[in-house]
Amino acid sequence: MTPILRSHLESIPAYVPGRVIPGAVKLASNEVTFGPLPSVAAAIAEAAGGLNRYPDNAMVELTETLAKKFGVTADEIAVGCGSVILCQNLITVTAGPGDEVLFGWRSFEMYPTATQIAGAVPVQVPLTGDDTFDLSAMADAITDRTRLIFVCNPNNPTGTVVEAADLEAFLERVPPTVVVALDEAYAEYVRPSPAQRYDAIQLHRRHRNLVVLRTFSKAYGLAGLRVGYAVADPTVIEALRKVHVPFSVNTLAQVAATACLRADDELLARTEPIVAERVRVAAQLRAWGLPVSDSQANFVWLGLGADTAEFSAAMTDQKVIVRAFDGDGVRVTVTDPHENDAFLAAVRAWMSARG
């Protein structure tokens, strides 16, 4: 006899991570090629001797360090096992069966999946013609059943960012009872124009319903340790703590993240070469006539539409692994010049083969 499971899970796809093929250049998961800074690695090594003990479930040192960094109270900080679990927990504390979770699309794949797992209804609003969140259309889509809105900025997978005035106008239109999650997983790579520049923490102070989400997985190079955080009103943070899985942020993750914040300037300087490579790679792809969005993340997006599957297969044949979203496009991580050149060479070979 088959065990009885929740029937609606049958229609929900499982998350598919980027593929790993031995010997291939992996540009599918937005990882960085460098490891932790020496001071961070040393802190991890020292902490390893205490792994017979449970992690600090309150994550006191990391929470207090984050609070000091942003000039907020510890009651405005929640730490989670990557920012993705905080996304899921925000859905859990705001939405149930019949409620709506709103976001632009295409965006982070876990938004619709986690929404459906909670029994809520995902509401997808198409991006603008330049692959950016259409905040005006999203505001129009709010109903009396809307409980949570995700604004992914820079957006994953397109890398685009919204303008500050549009974001402020959007927040003014959102009812104060609806939570807005500003997902800034790639914030450290943003080099904004004057029109795009805003201070997320200041927005949080002005809008009690705004939650700022960030992670140590990307620019900080701790993807393997899984630690992210939220800055939000204490009422939201208290709810997140109620659904937090005990001890899910492990000891090494807490120690490494805290050490990263103490070496902040040195670590974030590593983003500059990646930003320069992003500009170079995007310029070359555009010179070849390929559709590339204006990315502010550590990846580029090629809106290839019907050619997506063919392009992805051709890259795999050339031992370059990219992330394909069938029928929409391909996301390609920007890393060091050697790996980026391997990708560009594979693209050139694909174009030559097509004539």
Give 10-residue mean pLDDT values along the chain (355 residues): 81 78 92 89 95 97 98 98 97 97 97 96 98 98 98 98 98 98 97 98 98 96 96 98 97 97 82 96 98 98 98 97 96 97 98 89
Q: What gap in Å lies between CA 168 and CA 162, rounded to an integer? A: 10
- With tokens 């200041």, the residue in question is 202
Q: Are 59 and 67 in contact (CB under 8 A)?
A: no
Q: What is the pTM of this model?
A: 0.96
Report angle CA 166, 167, 171 to the nearest 5 degrees: 115
Residue-wise pLDDT for 3-37, tens only, equals 888 887 888 887 777 777 888 999 999 999 988 88
Helices (H) and strands (E) in the chain, counts: 13, 11
CB atoms within 10 A of CB 306: 9
pLDDT of residue 264: 75
- pLDDT tens for 273-330 read 999 999 999 999 999 999 999 999 999 999 999 999 999 999 999 999 999 999 999 9
